[in-house]
Amino acid sequence: MAPPPSAVQDLSKTGDILTMHSKDGHFHRQKSTFRSFITPSSIPNSPFPAARDRYLLYINLTCPWAHRTNIMRSMKHLEPFIQLVTMDYEFGPEGWFFSGRDGTDAKDPLYGYTKIKDLYLRADPEYDARYTVPFIWDKEKETIVNNESSEIIRMFESAFDEFLSEAEREEAKGGNGLYPEHLRKEIEEFNEWVYDRINNGVYKTGFAATQEAYESHVVPLFEALDRVEKHLSEKGHHPYLFGKSITEADVRLYTTLIRFDAAYFTLFKCNIRMIRDESHYPKLHWWLRNLYWNHEEFRSTTSFEQFKKGYVKTAKTNIVPFGPVPHILPLDP
């Protein structure tokens, strides 16, 4: 159960995410605030209809929540329709910012801002919470449409299909789509416990402020990884989590696990074992490497060096871990 707001120290205006925990030492994630949806343009009176060159996706390459939206944008071939804006990998004194370092954007392309907070305050001058990525910006209404990654990837799955070739549309894929009708209940159930124990579990482990809080999250994290390993060994769950086609569940899990050995194991103390430990995770390790090496949308959006640098800053150190070497092992020996 989440503590009351008065029990949570929120120093979001200082950029100090490590202080986002309750007095008992547990980390609690802020709920997303902007929750509107982009819909197909055929839906009458939609405030945010799908359109060419109207929306921008703001991300950085450290954040796994932003990474999932970037992968989905690429998988759906939405690059011509949704502009990508990439902020610095470091979480600064006033949140994410622009710098131009390592191929990131030097400033906001619309207004010339250098800090993400200026976009949030332009959208809502009364906004008083953490300035997060990812989010979608609407150039026409000059506001944030949505800053919840799980909802953004759902929009990308089908809202812009009218602009794609018939073969690329979800309705043409039937049971092989990203969120097929016959698997939705199973995918929702899977996403729920993976989010709590793994996606957010690495943060609850890494940002725990007491030994009790740390141990109460690190053990369930690895129990959940064991559960995924078992899931992949079951009929119908290979080569991807729900069979022969990639679904949104694969995207959501990938962005956490591709950071695991290189960042979470060391910097977040998620160190019972690595994903590459094939004595425990032979199927999970193969699944991860298959997505990285065989799917350009996963590999090209993954920047090991940037997310290592970003997490180092979050952990308040300037020493970037050298390993593991290599960051990800080859698919075949």
Q: Which of the residues 63, 116, 270, 328 is marked catalytic?
A: 63
User: 211-233 and 282-294 are packed helices; what angle lies between their axes, rounded to 10 degrees?
Assistant: 80
Exposed, middle or buried: residue 320 (CB in 10 Å: 0-12, 13-18, 19+)? middle
> Rounded CA gap, 49 and 51, in Å?
6
Q: Is 270 a catalytic residue?
A: no
Contact by Cβ (8 Å): 284, 225 = yes
In terms of phi and psi (left: phi > 0; alpha: psi -120 to 50; beta: otherwise), the region of 330 is beta
| Dihedral, 304, 308, 114, 316 alpha carbons, nearest 10 | 180
Structure tokens at 184: 């939705």
Catalytic residue IDs: 63
